[in-house]
Structure 1
Amino acid sequence: MTGPLLEIEGLTKHFAVRSGLLGRQVGAVRAVDHVDLSIAAGSTLGLVGESGCGKTTLGRCIVRAHDPTGGRMLYRWPDGSVIDVAGLGEKELKPYRAQVRMIFQDPHSSLNPRKTLREIIGEPMRAHKWGTKDEIDARVGELLDRVGLRPEYAGRYPHAFSGGERQRVGIARALALEPRLVVADEAVSALDVSVRAQILNLLADLREESGLAYLFVSHDLSIIEHVADVVAVMYLGRVVEQGPTEELYERPLHPYTEALLSAVPDPDPAAKRHRERIKLLGDIADPAHPPPGCPFHPRCVYAKNVCRTDVPPLREVRGRSVACHFAGELELRGVPELADPDVREVST
């Protein structure tokens, strides 16, 4: 297959702000604002940024849990044909939703407590009329075994399992229809460290076995460094930098990326390495009232007059996409020690 599996062009999602007795629209929250991204088949794209920057909304737009306000999402089918899924109706979306699935952040609230694992994992197959009842039950047992749970657990309810086991159930449900792309929204953030490592290794194994592509949404840059081939950094609904993981971590081109990387903890506390933490002033701007010019300029120590008036376009600099007027001119600090493969390995 030539070309990306999914290519996003100018994707926008605005939520209406209403007021008054008649509920008239008086503004809009720009949760996702003209985002361009591409995901290759069998690759992992890491999406990072502060809480409220639009990561989850973007992921939900990709699986069409939210209807985009504008832009295009070009999906490439196995036969090579391309379709824009951004404007499709519910009926036309059904084949797409079988191939693009989602793992939700909270393993407790994302599973129906009144249904057994057999019903939860089998629900996508029943919705898409996949096989007979016996075939679905057999498939549920295979999926449970695949994610490290015993097939005989199929008759149990979610309350009988730990957080890590529930997340494995969520992964099994996402894999039920053999998707080509999985959106993992903070899939390990609610888990303790040991279980987190197990889930990450499981996702990596499934990628090797099935050729899955992932959009891995997280605020934890140390996890993204471990799982992602390419990293996209979001700020206030926009992608401000995107590039290969190792290059971006070693030498960021956007000041916001530099600030995020400065918060990554040193994996070896005994090492004589000291990185000064960059503390951003103020809070992330209100997406309903974004500042003029560069959205990051009120918190950027490198900001100049042009940053306050002109929105920087997303342009190619050193083989990466970056939205900064001075990208390539600033000497920004990264975390090159994280490129050490011994440090990167996650063990259980």
Structure 2
Amino acid sequence: MTAPPSEVTATATATGTAPLLRTHGLTKHFPIRRGLLGRAVGRVRAVDGVDLTVPAGRTVALVGESGCGKSTLGRCLMRVFEPTSGEISYRRTDGTVIDLAKLDERALKPYRSEIRLVFQDPFASLNPRMTLLQIIGEPLRVNLGLGAAETEERVAELLRRVGLRPEYLRRYPNAFSGGQRQRVGIARALALAPRMVVADEAVSALDVSVRAQILNLLKDLQDESDLTYLFISHDLGVVEYMADEIAVMYVGKVVETGATDELYGQPLHPYTEALLSAVPEPDPGARRRERVVLRGEVADASNVPQGCPFHPRCFYARDRCRTEVPALREIAPGRTSACHFAGELELKGCRA
């Protein structure tokens, strides 16, 4: 446990436009232990030096294949996982900025109510032995010290807000469908009026029709409460609907960022091009795009290839890619890419 830092690490110059949250060099490595004494023989680079900016009131999507580090990054931001190194700069309501990565558990507690998490699995994330009143009301009792009557009133209002009937508050999770359970999870996340919500694959376990309802609910709640979302997903069709900006991850690193429309229209990294080629075409009569089928599997985060981590699967790889790690750099205003030849390659998007 680390000691709390000095009160303020920086000051936002323009509170209205400054990022709500920003990471710099954020890293999370898991040791690989073997033998009777559990000696560390290697490490898994789950998150490896990520710089990410989340503007206030916007939705930033984190996308990539399974195993690329998306969920680990989200849990580092929540301090569910302790970062190995790096900064998590968070802008407080008074405009000052503090590094959440350096706070100990006691100093971190006030901020846990401001950044909340919606889990992927609506069945595993709710305690089957607790009623909705207990599940949603627990944060209210622990953090705000509300009494029984006031807790029940607040829980009933939260249920209404997410489209559930207040009469359900004494029922158990097994009485509800997957979509209804996810609404309960969202109500629990909103209980303490957070400023930011990390939605970790929040709709991937749901049927398509239910998925649309939850996505619309998240958008409505964002409009009502000026919420900021970090939306973690591997479904680029869903991301296109939800996100204002996108960050693409590969083997623990962000390899491209940009506004959604620009990134879908003109990717700047070969990995992004491959992901976009798999997005379904909304017009059945439209000409089918050529699918980019990548070779092999996602690189092993415990044994990352030398040079660009993506080069063994990249159709555009050159000698430089095999020896030199590309830096994430700005290619155009608001667009970054970690490709040596970004801006030179003619990559295909999935939207005009």
Distance 1:57 1:4 in 2: 21
Partner of 1:346: none
* Pairing partner for 1:84 from 78, 99, 119: 99
SS of residue matched to 1:306 = helix
1:280 is the counterpart of 2:294: yes
- Normalised by the length of structure 1, the TM-score is 0.95
1:166-213, CA deviations, whole angstroms, 9 ceiling, x for partnerless residues?
000000000000000000000000000110000000000000000000
5 Å-filtered alignment, 1:1-348, equals: 1-2=15-16, 3-269=18-284, 271-319=285-333, 320-337=335-352
After TM superposition, give the deviation of residue 137 of structure 1 in Å. Answer: 1.2
5+ unaligned residues in a row in structure 1: which ranges? 338-348
Distance 2:121 2:259 in 1: 29
Distance 1:42 1:137 in 2: 29
After TM superposition, give the deviation of residue 267 of structure 1 in Å. Answer: 1.1
After TM superposition, give the deviation of residue 84 of structure 1 in Å. Answer: 0.2
Contact 1:117 1:153 in 2 (8 A): yes
Distance 1:137 1:9 in 2: 41
Distance 2:108 2:222 in 1: 24
5+ unaligned residues in a row in structure 2: which ranges? 1-14
After TM superposition, give the deviation of residue 240 of structure 1 in Å. Answer: 0.1
Structure 2 counterpart of 1:285, which letter? A
Distance 2:76 2:148 in 1: 32
Distance 2:286 2:185 in 1: 41
1:83-124, CA deviations, whole angstroms, 9 ceiling, x for partnerless residues?
100121111111110000000000000000000000000111
Between stretches 109-118 and 272-281, larger displacement belongs to: 272-281
Q: Structure 1 stretches (4+) deviating beyond 4 angstroms?
A: none
After TM superposition, give the deviation of residue 273 of structure 1 in Å. Answer: 1.3
Structure 1 counterpart of 2:260, which letter? T
1:262-320, CA deviations, whole angstroms, 9 ceiling, x for partnerless residues?
00011122x13120000000001110000010000000010001100000001000121
Structure 2 counterpart of 1:4, which letter? P
Distance 1:272 1:129 in 2: 54
Distance 1:272 1:60 in 2: 40
Structure 1 counterpart of 2:190, which letter? L
Distance 2:286 2:336 in 1: 33
After TM superposition, give the deviation of residue 74 of structure 1 in Å. Answer: 0.4
Give RMSD over aligned pairs.
Answer: 0.8
Distance 2:145 2:103 in 1: 22
Contact 1:130 1:136 in 2 (8 A): no
Partner of 1:344: none
Contact 1:14 1:32 in 2 (8 A): yes
Distance 2:135 2:79 in 1: 20
Contact 1:149 1:165 in 2 (8 A): yes
Distance 2:42 2:138 in 1: 38
Distance 2:145 2:347 in 1: 52
1:197-233, CA deviations, whole angstroms, 9 ceiling, x for partnerless residues?
0000000000000000000000000110001000000
Distance 2:239 2:347 in 1: 20
What is the aligned-residue identity percentage? 66
